[in-house]
Structure 1
């Protein structure tokens, strides 16, 4: 399995940006939100035209194979056009100002959940959470999964930290939707 060197990564991503395959946005006010496994998730404000939008950002992994990276980014690009109410939006790519040589200088930008992850939300609200809200969340999650299955996709990393709450609605995080069903049937 061939792995990208940082130079190849940067060239490949910059070519995609130049070809208009991905949107590029600047950001401000970068803050570390949480560590999930070996991944850090950041919160920032994305500058889109005259608008400022709160987003979460994650470094594009530097230990993934060429195929994994291409698959993830191509699928995120498709998801941008799905416009599904129950899957978080993928906005585009940004360049990090980090000097960490172990990190690639590009990050993906995704929809921010003002209610945090489902795990955080349940920890903070479980005692006062009405059953109608629980049922609403269950329906929204099942609709997100049903939508993916209709597109012949599955989510390879489904857990409560990969589900966000935004404006009192549940959304499945777009990262991790990388596997077509027929590819996974050999597992």
Structure 2
């Protein structure tokens, strides 16, 4: 039995199927990330995304991780749907066939529509993302690579939806390895000093996505993503919360990116809190939002020019972590000295 067929037996109720490669037509490359290439194609008269993992010693692992997570989450809401798997007969590479996101990713949506996105809609987006992550955590998996490029946007005449995607690094919270991959601004500080990925580190990433939805900007886009930024994040540096952010959102955001993983809320608590928030709590927020946009103080078009070495594709960061871990305890303490104050 092949490793693919083994993976498919993980969930007897899975709706994921084997798709013969000739059934997939009109393949066209649309994106390349840190761990693979995504194509758009046609299958059964509908547009789909076909994901091929980059050739590496870990490519089979990433493929299996994503497939395994989709098998366990096949009926979960707010997670990108996997229709099946296929195999390129020429390269003999396995690929995933996924639901196609006609609206691109979350950051693209924010960038193109920010001025028109009300606080009510921002809350709805956060509720959907939190539901997807809560469902991943319910099966005791962690995402491990959460950022706005991995949240996909779907739009029809009836609704807008946002789904958690790119599950290639997702796996059981109990599984630990020495490999660190991701995007620095979204990664929890404890990961860089030797802690394993956890549900709490996903929650930290969720806090950064919350901030991005409030501003339309990627966190720390104006600085180089290197050792210096990592040191500052470990030391408590966080993005500045905008003046229009309601206190209920700001307070939750701060809890999510707390330096102590034990003080962060669970995804279940986050989803419940977001679901209970009332429109009255946002009454003045939209007026303030429009005022700040009018003053050119809020929105991606008014943000500082991105640094040329701000990197928002997932990549290996093990060398950064290893360098920091190798420092003596006394040297590390020189960086971890304070908690930043946040103005709400």
Residue 51 of structure 2 aligns to a residue whose secondary structure is strand
Once residues 76 and 145 of structure 2 are traced to their aligned partners in structure 1, the CA distance between those partners, rounded to angstroms, is 19
- Structure 2 residue 85 is matched with structure 1 residue 85: no
Q: Secondary structure of the equivalent of 1:121?
A: helix
Greater radius of gyration (CA):
2
Q: Distance in 1 between matches of 2:139 and 2:113?
A: 33
More displaced 10-residue stretch of structure 1: 174-183 or 131-140: 174-183
Structure 2 unaligned blocks of 5 or more: 178-194, 197-344
Cα separation, partners in 2 of 1:138 and 1:184, compared to 1, 3 Å: farther
1:151 maps onto 2:139 in alignment: yes
- Moved >6 Å (runs of 4+): 17-21
* Greater helix fraction, Structure 1 or Structure 2: 2
**Mapping of 1:36-115 within 5 angstroms?**
36-47=33-44, 52-63=45-56, 64=58, 69-80=63-74, 83-96=75-88, 104-115=92-103
- Residue 74 of structure 1, CA deviation: 2.7
Q: After superposition, what is the alpha-carbon deviation per residue over 1:112-155, rounded to whole angstroms, capped at 9, x for unaligned?
A: 11111111111111122222111100111111111111211110
Aligned length: 167
Q: Which residue number in structure 1 is paired with residue 165 of structure 2?
A: 173
How far the C-alpha of 1:61 sits from its partner, in A, is 4.2
Cα contact 2:4–2:64 (8 A) shared by 1: no
* Aligned alpha-carbon RMSD (Å): 3.0
Q: Secondary structure at the match of 1:108?
A: strand
Q: Scaled by the length of structure 1, what TM-score is found?
A: 0.74
Query: In the alignment, is residue 12 of structure 1 matched against residue 2 of structure 2?
Result: yes
Q: 1 CA distance for matches of 2:171 and 2:84?
A: 20
Q: Give, in angstroms, the shift of residue 44 of structure 1.
A: 0.9
Q: TM-score, normalised by structure 2?
A: 0.43
- In 2, are the aligned partners of 1:86 and 1:172 still within 8 Å (CA)? yes
Structure 1: gaps (5+ residues):
1-10
